[in-house]
Structure 1
């Protein structure tokens, strides 16, 4: 059994009743993990009122056991934050923030692992259905004018884009992509206007072609993607209300690559300078960090004109880092960065080693790679939906019945 594996008691096949409860449990996790509405800020961590639904999961399904090495890993990640907190200017706030590491692990990773252990390859059915539901409700809110850009229950569309990565990875690794999923992707592209979601789709398509040899089916998919890209570009160039309009126009009409790079950087807001500032703070305190929740106050009032060039709209003051791994380093030092990185490489490596045996391995590998890349472009490594993915991925390593994920396409 692998280091990160969590297993259920015994080898009995779960009953249909338990499986249906596991389906409900995973839906609860996927919805509550992204619930940014009705949040209360406690020690730099947003507590969602919807999380009370998580208390139902232990009543629905048996909770998995964990290997001691897995617990040792998360405890070490927690202790690194505690140590940094004790050395910081605001130890109490840091200690309270560190508590959320344990909370996120227990209530999201642990519960997700438990539900997916029961469902095994049927997990992808739930991922597909849940992704469709979330996009449907988001698109409905957009059509009715309630939301100017579709973000459903998330703080903003870019957060929802990251939460949808397992759904997108599942779609791209099915034998036959269903029309409902194509419609879902198109509707979210239009309604969210999210540059992050476009990057997710691009990475998912690229990984689909890299994982395996080229065949006629892939060539057809490549043609459809190319055709869809042309149509979408035409749409962007003629829809001036879309926030991606100016970026697309600048890239296509600029005569130099530097102009295109500038256009992309401007579309990303002040992500790059915020990342540069965070990296500078990290190198000032590479071993212990400055302590969780201290970053904003630490940079407040400091002069970063050598980075911002005194351009007001890219001023990083009062804003967190836009790279979750650098953020971990700023909070708790280099060891926190290593510990946050290890699970990604472990999960991706283990699944790639057996990727020729099952499509579920390819889905987990693709999703892990995309989430890793996107976390390098955004903040907050304690996002619950990322830890739900960890639970799913860890569980997939211990599935005894390596069912082909293509059955998802027939049953979903």
Structure 2
């Protein structure tokens, strides 16, 4: 990652560089005069900072003809056109990776967070950890190959995974994938990259993704429900992820243990003889399809599962009082999942939240992983310490 000032060790200069770069960060093409106005710095200071940023590769001078309509200051007193500058979002890349039960997905973006490409591949749920990680690496390699992007240009990698993940990227508990509990996932993947690798729970990243580019834009307090056979949830409080002390916040799929009741998967595995394995998501999908077609036994199974999901979500809503609940995972495709949630949360909660289906669909986790990498890159980009 290039230094903000091309190696200058002056704290004041680094601060000035960060201020100037932030003025260009949103994509605007600005002249020196405009940068002086935006930053409050003197013209000689801005001129010196800009040269350092150009040397670092973070800023480039652009042709005034391509900078849009002329401004009043676009011609200097000498008669020469004013110089125009922009932030080089293409100076680096950010990678988001989802490791799921049935596949892997990777998304690449520029330094402004704009998606440049995506690639996914199926992975059998019984695949062991080492082989799964090899397939994940292959997914990333194929994405980079298709985009003509060098691995050396990556500034940060965000990774989403099922399970309880600690702050070091170790999966403390991961029952959805074989060999996942105790896996030092961050360290395993870090060997494939020359940049930081950040690992987070998948539901947490989906919440971040929907808050960044989806249904929860502009909402401060958010609950994202990843509705699967064992539902999980991610929560933002005041716009910041709430992980809990050990990263286990939002594991609503374990609420049934409080009452010694059936596991969520068992609610979908009874009354329908075709569903032999409670963890067979393909079979579950067939049951849900039968319910949509009006099969009474399947409808009973679906409704019982949704009733449990509503109660699990209500427990989290009562604890957090979110502004919005976003529903993702395969349950987001169920007909009528939103209205039962709205109705029951209105009945069970003191202040019912807004309820919406995830806007990002299956990409929510990978997009949240990109945002995780984006935030890390932002911290480095605007850091002023040594």
TM-score normalized by the length of structure 2: 0.24
| TM-score, normalised with respect to structure 1 | 0.23
Which one has more relative contact order, counting CA pairs under 8 Å at least 6 apart? 1
Q: Which structure: greater helix fraction? A: 1
